[in-house]
Structure 1
Amino acid sequence: MAGIEINRSREMAVFVHIVEQGGFSAAARVCRMTPSAISKLIARLETRLGARLVNRSTRRFQLTPEGCVFYERATQILADIADAERSAGAGERPFGRVRLTTSASYAIHILAPILPDFLDLYPDITLDIVQTDMVIDLLSERTDVAVRAGPLKSSSLVARKLGETPSVITAAPGYLNRFGVPETIADLDRHRRLGFGYLRAIDGWPLKQHDETIVHPASGRVQASDGEALRQLALSGNGLARLALFTVRDDIAAGRLVPVLERFNPGDHETFYAVHAGGSGPLPSRVRALLDFLAARGRVE
């Protein structure tokens, strides 16, 4: 069935070229076919339709009444096909809705400041942003692009690296004034540690001790499901939090948060990726536009 439909659309396109170019020879040049091949194609089309489309008895090119009707319908059908391809993302101008899943930290600190430029560049794209730190299944959640941090598991997903960021343990000045500044790793046991409320690739805080890296438990009385919530908890004086530097850089510069235990920082970096479902076909232009924009403007440092 698919092969028949493709042949029919091709026959329509050739016939439209014949009409618009005013003859077989001119259409043959446009379609990169020989005049005899054009003539045979139209003969097959007329046989299948059971109607003559072109009068061949005169030296001047002339459509029959049936040919005029077929030309009008063919041009409309070909226009509908082109419109369907544009709507599906195959056209040059990106169009449609893109569903993006990302952490609140990335959405607030990286995406939000650059989003006006993306919307100006692509006025026909609508973004549906879902904030979560949890790893979701893109296909079942009907998600086009996800921004993820940390090591990627082997899968059918295609990833584009968006950069990497170090992490830092911080606390608000008010908290440190009340509970003291931790000086050693052992001091962490008497402090309130704010951690994530779900299992991560590294379940704890990596710290450098002598010549090796250990992972200190981060579980405490308060946990949260995303990094931005932990940042807000730290800013409010609820305890120590180990956060991506790009999310607290401004807070540290303004004195709202203070880094601690930096001499024990192992210097590890968390890598960010924009991922999408793989496949053999081309990406819809709306998805490709967002991926290219994030790769150029949405980098993490």
Structure 2
Amino acid sequence: MSRQEINRSGEMEVFVRAVELGGFTAAATAFRMTPSAVSKLVTRLEKRLGARLINRSTRRLQLTPEGCVFFERSVAILADITEAERHASAGEQVAGHIRINTSGSFGNHALAPLVPAFMALHPNVSLEIFHTDRIVDLMEERADVAIRAGPLKSSSLTARKLGATRKVIVASPNYLQRHGAPRSAAELEKHCRIGFAYSRAIEGWPLRIDGEVVTIPAARSLQVGDGEAMRHLALDGAGLARLSAFTVKSDIASGRLLTVLEDLNPGDVEEFHAIYIGQGGPLPARVRALLEFLRENVRL
């Protein structure tokens, strides 16, 4: 029998229990085995080790010097295994460190307001939140969860939908006062349209014109690397921006931004997903708690 086929930790458990309980019969009862099965297991163990571990001449088990060494080391090894399993799964206790990767827009407007409640609910959890709009490798970035917008590509990752948001074109009152509000798709050519500096699933701005959805090409004059930077440029009067409605909700309510061409808005929505490594296998309790919390509390 190869070493890989031998359940060495299982043999250690039976051996240690037999010594602690003082006999094969008691150990057999504890493991729901027969006394002869326990005796054969110990004999097989001794044969493999090439050393007698127990003297069986007395009514009570008596350890040999080799048996004492093996018993002490087995107790330590089994304790280490238990500790390793406890740290790996944290049992059902929600504790440990969670590394989250998300966009600046979602992080600032959807995630940040929820952090205090999550931390209060799980005081033994620590969070590390990174903002980037670029797609990251979860393994390389050591991220437990990534939150991303748009259609999902097929991969070995697992995703949970958190919600969806419509898109709106906005501009500051200052910009519109200086340049006028566009009243048609054609008039967009006269305006600065702030675009993204990276490729996206949908390039350009889709508008409903004469019953059909037409995509206006993305602008090249002003580009940024993330949605939050685009929002700030729009607030500062740099141009028009097409953004997720939940990120500019308060700006529109306060009048800092105004919607533009809403009559041409096709009503398309962008979905947000929490993405993590795993194909239905067990998740650490801390990650499972975060995913459930986001699913129940994220409002886009």
Q: Name the TM-score, length of structure 1 as normaliser.
A: 0.88
Residue in 2 aligned with 1:27? 27
| Separation in 1, partners of 2:249, 2:235 | 13
Structure 1's unaligned 5+ residue stretches are none
Residue in 1 aligned with 2:117? 117
Offset of 1:166 from its aligned partner? 0.7
1:55–1:63 CA contact under 8 A, matched in 2: yes
Structure 2's unaligned 5+ residue stretches are none
The CA deviation string for residues 203-251 of structure 1, in whole angstroms up to 9 with x for no partner, is 1111111211111123152211111111111111111111101111111
Q: 1:150 to 1:2 in 2, by over 3 A?
A: farther
1:192–1:220 CA contact under 8 A, matched in 2: no
SS in 2 for 1:14: helix
Offset of 1:89 from its aligned partner? 3.6
| Separation in 1, partners of 2:210, 2:187 | 16
Residue in 1 aligned with 2:171? 171
Offset of 1:125 from its aligned partner? 4.1
| Separation in 2, partners of 1:2, 1:225 | 54
| Separation in 2, partners of 1:35, 1:59 | 14
Q: Map of 1:120-269 to 2, 5 A cutoff?
A: 120-269=120-269
Offset of 1:88 from its aligned partner? 3.3
1:86–1:95 CA contact under 8 A, matched in 2: no
2:166–2:267 CA contact under 8 A, matched in 1: yes
| Separation in 1, partners of 2:67, 2:86 | 28
Residue in 1 aligned with 2:290? 290
| Separation in 2, partners of 1:124, 1:75 | 30
| Separation in 1, partners of 2:281, 2:24 | 35
Aligned length: 299
Residue in 2 aligned with 1:274? 274
SS in 2 for 1:60: coil
Q: 1:113 to 1:20 in 2, by over 3 A?
A: farther
| Separation in 2, partners of 1:171, 1:162 | 28
The CA deviation string for residues 171-213 of structure 1, in whole angstroms up to 9 with x for no partner, is 1222222222222222222222111111111111111112111
Out of 17-26 and 242-251, give the one that drifted further: 17-26
Q: 1:2 to 1:164 in 2, by over 3 A?
A: farther
For the pair 1:15 / 2:28, whether they are aligned, the reply is no
Identical aligned residues as a percent: 59
SS in 2 for 1:218: coil
Q: 1:154 to 1:77 in 2, by over 3 A?
A: same
| Separation in 2, partners of 1:123, 1:76 | 31
Offset of 1:154 from its aligned partner? 1.6
| Separation in 2, partners of 1:105, 1:2 | 54
RMSD value, Cα: 2.4
| Separation in 1, partners of 2:100, 2:116 | 16
| Separation in 2, partners of 1:92, 1:69 | 35
The amino acid of 1:48's aligned partner reads R
SS in 1 for 2:295: helix
| Separation in 2, partners of 1:289, 1:44 | 45
Offset of 1:141 from its aligned partner? 3.5
Q: 1:117 to 1:56 in 2, by over 3 A?
A: farther
The amino acid of 1:193's aligned partner reads R
The amino acid of 2:99's aligned partner reads R
Q: Map of 1:21-100 to 2, 5 A cutoff?
A: 21-89=21-89, 91-100=91-100
Residue in 1 aligned with 2:106? 106
Offset of 1:281 from its aligned partner? 5.2
Offset of 1:42 from its aligned partner? 1.2
1:102–1:130 CA contact under 8 A, matched in 2: yes
Q: 1:160 to 1:265 in 2, by over 3 A?
A: same
